[in-house]
Structure 1
Amino acid sequence: MADKRFAGRVALVTGGGDGIGRATAVRLAEDGAAVGIATIDPQQAKDAAAECESKGVQAAYSVADLGVLEDVRRAHAELVAALGPVDILVNNVGIAIEAPFLESTDDEFDRTFAVNFMAAVRLTRLSLPAMLEAEWGSVINVASAQGILGWSNFAAYSSAKGALTSLTRQLANEFSPRGVRFNSVVPGSVLTPMNEARIAKDGPALLESSINLHIIKRLQKPSEVAAAIAFLASDDASFITGSTMSVDGGVLVKGH
């Protein structure tokens, strides 16, 4: 792309090895940002960073389990050392444990909240001081329609994503007067490796039901979510904060 609107900016994308995270990392690189990727899979991390570098920008990666505090701290330190302070933070990493509520365990809830919510809390806490000093920053949290509508058998995932949406609004209220914007995006059913694995396991019925969640009758491409994230990160969205942007093919309009 000719528009290098993020030239001179540093972006950190969690879960950036595949799916929405990788598409976002590549989109931000295309738009000129140096990109740091934090993810748990070493090969995916390496490949995603290489793809970002192919866009003519600096890229670095840190292999980390972002549900573990020490790994979060290490990943942030490594990426800042390689690229500089974070200007754009995309909290995308997430896991989904499917279980009926009465069969779900405390450990499953703890793990889901550690990855889907506390990783965002911790990385925001680590990245925010430099943003406040610069009086410029953009934090985008990848939420979920499940966090708004609720979904059977995904109580831990839905509640963690709902908490992330609430956190977005609270931090916008606290820090946007000082130049840092906070927004979240709500994707639809995205063709990510996580969803592909579920469809491969459960077959055509799950594929059909996933498509039928949307008014637009297809699965979503990761690049479509990445485009919305790049917009919210940019100065084109300079007066947008505390918002939850639906990029969901009409899931929230339709309900389920």
Structure 2
Amino acid sequence: MKNLQIPTMRPQPGHFYAVGIGPGSPDMLTVRAARLVEGCDTIISPQAKGSSRSLALEAVQPFVDRQEIIVNNYPMERNGEKSRKRWHLFAEEVVRRCAAGESVVQITLGDPLIFATSSYLLQSLSEMMPAANIHVVPGISAFQIAASRFAETLTLQEDRLMLMSATDLSAVERALGQCETLVLYKAGTCIDALMDLLCRHNLLDRARLVSCCEQGEHELLLDDLPSWQSRPLNYMTTMIVRIGSRPWLEG
């Protein structure tokens, strides 16, 4: 067997990397993500305010050695202006470190551009750093790992796939008529109302739910939602509703 040399990105001085690390298992990082984490000077890890652990930091522990670790505590609240101001202040610290020649990696569960705290930081950094010094490394997102648990196809041919937050139920109801597969993030925050909505549209048997995916004994898989019995669910809960399929277009 050949000893293949895999070309991959290495962290550069003065550069920032928003790195998606997938659902939370070390073996689900991409090679590029792992190399950037293990080779950088500074790791920024998000942690919800009031939480005693950072799932993202736990996932990259096999790749941590000498790097400085900054745990960024943030409140999970629905206030866009406050969030932007808070992350702008944090961006100033990132800029200072990069100007001093450090390579900085911010790790985030899932993908940095899909419902991720990285998006706030990237918005601020885009105004404060050269674009050539800002990098985004994709990661496996929640809907991908959730779908893999049931081995069910998300799209075929002309099918439309829609991703959205579950928190606005009126928007969710409209979306049911606008796609063939609907992926709902943050489903645990409004699970009972969401179940009622799907029941009214006769879609409960077409829905699948995954909570705390890749988190060992905390993981919950539900493929029989008509038998749902109300219970609290983690914020990190994703629902997939396979509404139907579009006719194939010929020619």
TM-score range, shorter chain: 0.3 to 0.5
TM-score by length of 1: 0.39
Q: Which structure is higher in strand share?
A: 2
Q: In proportion to residue count, which structure has more helix?
A: 1
Higher-Rg member (1/2): 2
